[in-house]
Structure 1
Amino acid sequence: MAPAGDRRTGFSRRRQYGIFIGYVLAVAGAVVGAVLLVVSSFNPPLFAGIRMGVASVTAPISGGLATVTEAAASVPEAINGWLFAHAENAAMRRELAAARPLLQRARVIAYDNRRLRALLAVRDRTPDPVVTARLVSSSASSGRRFALLDAGRFSGVLPGMPVRGPEGLVGRVLETGPAAARVLLLSDPESIVPVRRSRDGLPAIAIGRGDGAVDIRSVNATDVRFAAGDVFVTSGIGGLYAPGIPVARVAAAGTDSVLGRTFAQPDTFDFALVERVFMPLPAAPTPAAAAPTDPAP
């Protein structure tokens, strides 16, 4: 048997038919090309019609092949984009996790700065402030309401001195140590503050309830109507608290005794201002009445 490399072309009929068909297609293509060349030279309109007819048949096929090619080419790009987006999202999550503590710290600093600016404005209006100190803690789970101030006798803090925040009155100093002081809050049941209504000067007293709020009670009058939103400030009666310090706002309308919400919430700010005890000026003496003179005889 002869080796495969020595076989002739005509050994296989299939190969013979293939070669023959190839020759036929080549001759047919040459003839068609020659005919189209002659037609395009002698009858251009006819050639244009034939060209557009062939284009109409081949255009959908070409469009479909182009769509398939573009879809196949976009697969690697989509995979690459997904991998890049996944890696970018992971990097952004890491950056966010690293920046979150810094953001929280910046918010705390901004909050403290706003409070300190407000307290500084109050201090500028106070004629003789004692010290600005930090409220390091306050009781909120018991019936008694106290706060601890990180300033004491060394800073000039003495029992009875009023303590106020940016929004209003906090309470008064109850006990002092060398570097700390205990503050009796407005909401403590032992706290009683003379107040007046800001819109008409109606006298009242604010008494602590032990639950973070105060009772506003009328003084020397009955059937007194309180409207929701009425603002009460210190009256200055009896000394201790200077007049005009915001104390509480009425929560709901009522008669004679209503619930009030204090403006200053010790658990929402850090710094407070200690003021000197208010000493009202004594009333000016009235001029003595002229002594009666004896009538002339």
Structure 2
Amino acid sequence: MATPSRDRRTGFSRRRQYGAFVGYVLAVAGAVVGALLLALSHFDPPAFAALRMGAASVTAPVSAGADTAIGWAANVPTAIGDHFAVKAENEALKAEIARNRALLTRARAIVQDNRHLHALLAVRERTADVVLTARLVSSTASSGRRFALLNAGRWQGVRPGMPVLGPDGLIGRVIETGPAVARVLLLTDTESLVPVRRTRDGLPAIAAGRGDGELDIRAVSTGVSLAPGDVFVTTSTGGIYAPGIPVARVDRRGVDTAMARPFAQPDALDFALVVTPFMPVPAR
């Protein structure tokens, strides 16, 4: 049996040998090329310059591409940071817009309340016997019966039979009272009947609730023409309402009876005036 040669070094592969040989060859070739270029630059500068420019022309696109890639890679972290910064800024702006929208809504509500209060103040100055100003906490605007609730009652001096006024006209009258609340029968309720007169000629009529948010103006006499735009106000008949309080305006033409829209809209009001009856009922 043949024995392996003792000169063979185990673990030294041919691939490593070839790699080392190629490295040596490249090193020698580079040294030779460098020597040739150095000699060429010394003995023939124009030829060396032409060679250098040719090499630069070949490598310039590669260098430009490399620069672009490096610049793009360098800008990636900045772009990512800018993206998240813009996103955070947008979220902050959206939150600020939402806060401002809520503030604007509150401001509009306050302005509307102030308008109503100023209008009620003007009515109060013209009305001698105001009991108080109360808040309309609810009203039945969608059922057949039409009532409203005031946040004031017997403890505040509210009594049944007292008229309730809004900035634009008559709302109704108190029919029930509790210690701190009162129930108001609205003009538009089917049980509501209010004596009225036409402003342009004093024609007497009755404003009767329809239960649907509108009124029927019923003339006392017959053969009476009622035209759109006719305005009706209260009279002192019955002793509850003072004369001259706006009640309704006729919407549709009719004979003896016409549909009218009340001036006061309780479902759109926050405050109302409670006043004493024009001729209070004598105490028994």
Alignment TM-score > 0.5, same fold: yes
Q: d(CA) in 2 for partners of 1:29 and 1:173?
A: 119
Q: 1:241 aligns to what? A: 241
SS in 2 for 1:240: coil
Q: 1:201 aligns to what? A: 202
Instruction: Give matches, 1:210-229, under 5 Å.
Output: 210-227=211-228, 229=229
Q: d(CA) in 1 for partners of 2:111 and 2:140?
A: 25
Q: d(CA) in 2 for partners of 1:126 and 1:165?
A: 12
Offset of residue 181 of structure 1: 2.2
Deviations 1:16-54 (A, max 9, x none): 6743674487469944999xxxxxxxxxxxxxxxxxxxx
Q: d(CA) in 2 for partners of 1:166 and 1:28?
A: 109
Q: d(CA) in 2 for partners of 1:241 and 1:257?
A: 22
TM-score using structure 1 length = 0.67
1:19 aligns with 2:20: no
Q: d(CA) in 2 for partners of 1:114 and 1:28?
A: 101
Residue 25 to residue 215, structure 1, CA distance change in 2 (3 Å): farther
Offset of residue 95 of structure 1: 4.0
SS in 1 for 2:119: helix
Q: d(CA) in 2 for partners of 1:96 and 1:9?
A: 73
TM-score using structure 2 length = 0.70
Aligned pairs, number: 249
Residue 123 to residue 25, structure 1, CA distance change in 2 (3 Å): farther
Q: d(CA) in 2 for partners of 1:21 and 1:119?
A: 107
- Gap regions ≥5 residues in structure 2: 1-16, 50-60
Q: 1:230 aligns to what? A: 230
Q: d(CA) in 1 for partners of 2:44 and 2:256?
A: 113
Q: 2:113 aligns to what? A: 112
Instruction: Give matches, 1:32-181, under 5 Å.
Output: 72=72, 77-97=78-98, 102-181=103-182
Q: d(CA) in 2 for partners of 1:32 and 1:252?
A: 108
Deviations 1:251-293 (A, max 9, x none): 333433222222212222222111111149xxxxxxxxxxxxx
* 8 Å Cα contact 1:226/1:256 also seen in 2: no
Offset of residue 223 of structure 1: 4.6
SS in 2 for 1:215: strand
- Gap regions ≥5 residues in structure 1: 35-60, 281-297
Residue 89 to residue 153, structure 1, CA distance change in 2 (3 Å): same
Residue 86 to residue 159, structure 1, CA distance change in 2 (3 Å): same
* 8 Å Cα contact 1:135/1:270 also seen in 2: yes
Residue 273 to residue 23, structure 1, CA distance change in 2 (3 Å): same
Offset of residue 98 of structure 1: 5.3
% of aligned pairs identical?
57
User: AA paired with 1:169?
Assistant: L
SS in 2 for 1:188: coil
Query: How big is the alpha-carbon RMSD for the aligned residues of Structure 1 and Structure 2?
Result: 3.9
Q: d(CA) in 2 for partners of 1:16 and 1:190?
A: 118
Offset of residue 210 of structure 1: 1.0
Offset of residue 123 of structure 1: 0.9
Q: 1:251 aligns to what? A: 251
